[in-house]
Amino acid sequence: MSYKFDRRGFLKAGTAAGLGVTLGGVQLSASAAKSDLPLVKEVNLPVIEEVRIGIIGMGGRGNSLMGNLLEMNETVRIKAVCDVYPERAEAAAQRVAAAGHPKPESYSGSEDVWKKLAERDDLDAVVIATYWQWHTPMAVYVMKAGKYAAVEVPAAYTLEECWELVNTSEQTGMPCMMLENWSFRSDNLAVLNMIRQGLLGRIVHCHCAHSHDCIDHWFFESGTGKDRWSAKFLVEHNRDQYPSHQLGPVISWMDINCGDYFDYITSTATDSVGINAYFAEKFGPDHPNAKRRFAQGDIVTTTVRTKKGKSIVINYDMQLPRPYDNRWLIQGTHGLYNEQRDAVYIEGKSPKYHEWEPFGPYHEKYRHSWAKGPAEGGHGGTDMVELSLFVQAVKNRTQPPIDVYDSVIMCVHGPLSEISIAKGGSPVKVPDFTRGKWETRKPYFAVETTA
């Protein structure tokens, strides 16, 4: 799979038209770019040439994101870094200096030291790459401090946190972008172009999943089996624990928040047997985790019905042995795309009656302008794309490509799935974070001309 991106050309285009913002080749004025974004106030700040960024959380993910930001030499200055562990914070500061930039100030040593970073008056934006329970509190604090917030997935874990992000962004006028990188995959963007050009007809149904065996490295330490910070969520909750990767491309494919919206969800979970089985087989039946009670079921299946009658099936699958898989399938009245098969079927266009054809030629024909040029950055180049778009938005003082409403709609089936499972799979209504504006809001993500 190929992801291509011309970072330097993209960044140089950022301030070419004053307060304008270039979205996939479409030049919009600042007022036009913001007028389609409901509720959140306009970012009434002057355009800037250099984006000053602070980073909170200097573990593996924070360092990966910092590496991408360091590549943006002419655009970004990392002014401050923070981690609860002093050695991580100092190592990050040294890395910035070794890359030829002024050494940033480092913050560490306590759980609330990050607030000092957020309160600095020489920052335009803060990137948050910490444990889940800190995502919303930090993003809210950053917005209240008058700065753009870029927060790792999931941006919110509870329903209350979803509302807190929306309300804070509306009240302060400061944007909040969840860094959902699968929205920016080249294949997913090509499929979006195909949908918008009518190849699949009227969209009816989607399937998506986050299938990733994470037991031996993400939830628990490899080799020792000791709990990592994320293990507590498996003990305490039964839900879709990692909701956004599935829905990253889906919300734009299905015009969610822009002409359609989630109506209600139903969720069911299997019994929890995989975690105990893993520990019994790897560490022996007497290992505490071989007998420990985990609330989390192995597989969670959530079904969404939208206001306009579409359906989405979402699978959470992170605890059983398996290869990585997203299982995206998007289906309309003229055909469908299947990521697992790397194939499409288009009625009247596919060469054989009701047979799959390779997706590769369609990928190239409908390749998005964001996915052209050499691949750079993590996750096949998607990290660089999303961060560059975020930086451009900060420079131009416009909304980022994923706004607060899209951020929370990609998270909300997490807490709602827990409610539905606890109620035996009963339907749960999805709160309308846009307060009805989804009905008239026009699609804005990755819009580009077809000329």
* Boundary (domain end) residue, out of 140, 158, 181: 181
Domain boundary among 181, 202, 227: 181
What pLDDT shows up at residue 17?
A: 30
| Opening angle at CA 177, ends 176 and 179, nearest 5 | 150
Each residue's pLDDT tens digit, 328-377:
999 999 999 999 999 999 999 998 888 999 999 999 999 999 998 666 77
Question: Which pLDDT value is given to residue 231?
Answer: 98
Q: Do both 151 and 50 map to the same domain?
A: yes
Q: Indicate whether 135 belongs to any domain.
A: yes
Is residue 110 located within the same domain as residue 187? no
Indicate if 109 and 156 belong to the same structural domain.
yes
Residues 432 and 288 reside in one and the same domain: yes
Q: Cα–Cα–Cα angle for 300, 150, 401, nearest 5°?
A: 85
pLDDT at 271 over 90: yes
Coil, strand, or helix at residue 126?
strand
Q: What is the pLDDT of residue 106?
A: 98
Find the mean pLDDT for residues 56-61: 97
In contact, 274 and 282? CB cutoff 8 Å? no
| Residue 78 confidence (pLDDT) | 98
Looking at the 3D structure of the chain, how many domains does it have?
2
What confidence tens digit (pLDDT) does each residue in 114-154 have? Answer: 999 999 999 999 999 999 999 999 999 999 999 999 999 99
Where residue 314 sits, what CATH number does that domain have? 3.30.360.10
Rounded Cα gap, residues 418 and 436, in angstroms? 25
Is 345 among the domain residues? yes
Backbone angles phi, psi at 160, to 5 degrees: -65, -40
User: What pLDDT, in 10s, does the model give residues 246-266?
Assistant: 999 999 999 999 999 999 999
Global pTM reads 0.91
Average pLDDT of the chain is 90
* Alpha-helical runs (H) found in 294-412: 360-365, 382-396, 404-409
Contacts with 293 (C-beta within 8 Å, 6 or more apart), sequence order: 235, 272
Tell me the average pLDDT across 277-300.
Answer: 97
Strands of the sheet containing 428-429, edge to edge, are 357-358, 343-346, 335-338, 329-332, 203-211, 311-317, 299-306, 262-269, 428-429
Q: Is the pLDDT score of 204 beyond 50?
A: yes
Q: How confident is the model at residue 37 (pLDDT cuts 50, 70, 90)?
A: very low
Please answer whether residues 330 and 320 qualify as being in contact, where contact means their C-beta atoms are separated by less than 8 angstroms.
no
DSSP state of 103: P
Label residue 449 by pLDDT band (50, 70, 90): low
Report if residue 285 sits inside a domain. Answer: yes
Q: Beta strand 329-332 with 203-211: parallel, antiparallel or unpaired?
A: antiparallel
Q: Which of 134, 162, 181 is the last residue of a domain?
A: 181
Query: 99: pLDDT confidence band, cut at 50, 70 and 90?
Result: very high
Q: Are residues 274 and 125 in the same domain?
A: no
Segments forming the whole domain that contains residue 111: 7-181
Query: Are 294 and 428 contained in the same domain?
Result: yes
| pLDDT higher than threshold 70 for residue 158 | yes
Residue 39 inside a domain? The answer is yes
d(C-alpha 331, C-alpha 230), whole Å:
35
